[in-house]
Each structure stands twice: as structure tokens, then as C-alpha cells.
Amino acid sequence: MFSSLKKLFNSAEPQGDNHDAEAEGIMQELSQLEAALAENPTDNSTQKMLMVKYNQAVKAYAASKGYRNCVDDVFVKIDELRNTIRKNI
């Protein structure tokens, strides 16, 4: 009777690790893109890729318990990127 509950809870643990790994990978990609944007703030392709990655980061960070506290920071960065894009138009 309890074996099905054990399987349910045990199967949820590896998914958390998977979300953490995904969030870590996205964080590394964001660092690279942010560095590229710092070098050339007017590069439209970098801006677009960064906006896509920020949106992926929100989803991945919200799913990961270890990165959940970073979601607000991503929204702030999205606003900053939007302001940068507006200045370039």
C-alpha cells in the first residue's frame, strides 16, 4: 500500500536535481550573453538571445528550489534590457 507513495516521493527527488542542473546551465549561458552585451550594447542579436534566455531562466529558476530566490533578479534584468533596447531604438 505504501510502496506506491514511496515511488511517488522518490521519483520527485531526481527531478529537483534535473531542475537545478538546468538552472545552472542557463545561469552560465546568461553570464556569457551578459558579458557579450556589455562589450557591445547595441548588438540586436545578443539582445534577442538574452531576452529568450531570461524567459527560460524564469521558468527554470521557479522550478528549482535552489534558484527560486533568483527569479526577482531575472525580472529586474529583463526590465534593464528592455530599457537598453528602448535607448537603442
For the segment 30-34, the average pLDDT, to the nearest whole number, is: 97
Q: Which residues span the domain enclosing 79?
A: 15-88
Residue 6 covered by a domain: no
In a domain, 2, yes or no: no
Q: What is the DSSP string of 12-26?
A: HHHHHHHHHHHHHHH
Q: Is residue 8 included in any domain, yes or no?
A: no
Residue 7: what pLDDT?
63
Is 71 a domain residue? yes
Q: Is residue 5 assigned to a domain?
A: no
- Structural domains in the chain (count): 1
pLDDT at 12 over 60: no
User: Can you give the pLDDT at residue 43?
Assistant: 93
Computed over its alpha carbons, how large is the radius of gyration of the chain? 17
Which of 82, 78, 89, 87 lies closest to 56, judged by CA? 78
**Is the model's pTM score more than 0.85?**
no
- In angstroms, the CA 51 to CA 86 distance is 14
